[in-house]
A = this chain, B = another copy of it.
Amino acid sequence: MVPRSTIDDVARLAGVSVATVSRALRGLPNVSPATRKRVESAAAELTYTVDARASSLASGRTHTIGLVAPWFDSWYESKVISGLEGVLAPAGYDLLVYAIKTSVRPMPILRERVRSRTVDGIISIDVFFDEEDADGLRAFGVPLVLIGSRLSYGHSVNIDNHHGAALATSHLLELGHRRILYVGGAQDNEMLSPVSGARETGVRQAIRDAGFDDAEVLEVSLDGGFSIAGGTRVMKRLVERADPMPTGIVCGSDEMAMGLIAEARRNDISIPERISVVGFDDHDLADVLGVTTVRQEVYEHGETAGRLVLETLGDDAPDSFVHIDAPLELVVRSSSGPAPSR
């Protein structure tokens, strides 16, 4: 075990006070160049490193940002983490991750984190607080950035789900599709229901805006669960049932779309000849697999959120918030095409 050296050791070796060591090492002003040099070499000689906990206790900041999300093993979350890490690390901030299972209310966890002074700020992904929660968070005065949701307290980074779904739908309508299925739903995870709901509304709206009767054109399947398996499940059911198949499908996520497309292939249902499929996200594999999709820049969402927390760290009672409307773009690939002639 290497004997850990403290600020006192450095002070002694450099022949100055601990106060001076602290100032010198942090690059604060009011330290003569000569002294700073001496302190620095003393620190180097002792391989001294500031004790983060002690520093934290004395200064009040932990230099740590907490990330809360329902889970971390999905494509979306991993992209956000990367983006976040990319901006936090260079700024000297650590990233702490907490998964909150769908069934648990998020607030107690956050309260814990904030009160225990474990983190200086919080970023959430797809966590849906209510206004009561907002008041609680406001009371803490903690920097907060919500990705994928919005609140009266805290910054937010969102996409216009409604619009995105409408983009996908209009694309299908323009291709002549008149029997459309929207696959969304959060059976596997209740947390995503607001997202699924907004996208469904967008689909419906686009159909109406195009002058069609959504009750006639649209069918909705809400057990896709935003997962690969969910997409597969939906396609399986379509194959088995007696009703006519939809000719166009809008999926709430690329993963559902991929599951669905793969199952279609297995059943010799050619895509896009018989069914056109549009996903959502622009998953890394969407391009490779030719999935037409509504693209969102997830890595950038993480970066933006990271920048926003960092900016807010100074203010101890943030009261004006930025709400970012992140860009969305329809990317047409080979999974969509003209509706079959009859």
Contacts and interface: CB of A to CB of B under 8 A. Distances in A.
A250 B210 CA distance: 49
B96 A49 contact: no
A115 B47 contact: yes
A53 interface: yes
A97 interface: yes
Interface of A: 1-2, 4, 47, 49-54, 56-57, 62, 64, 71-75, 77-79, 81-82, 85-86, 89, 94-99, 111-112, 115-118, 139-141, 228, 232, 258-259, 262-263, 284-285, 288-290, 299, 316-317
Contacts of A258: 285, 288-289
A284 B4 contact: no
Contact of A53 (B1, B53, B96, B112): B53
A315 B204 CA distance: 61
B62 A85 contact: no
B85 A78 contact: no
A53 B97 contact: no
A118 B78 contact: no
Given A57-B57, A139-B1, A288-B258, A73 B64 contact: no
A52 B82 contact: no
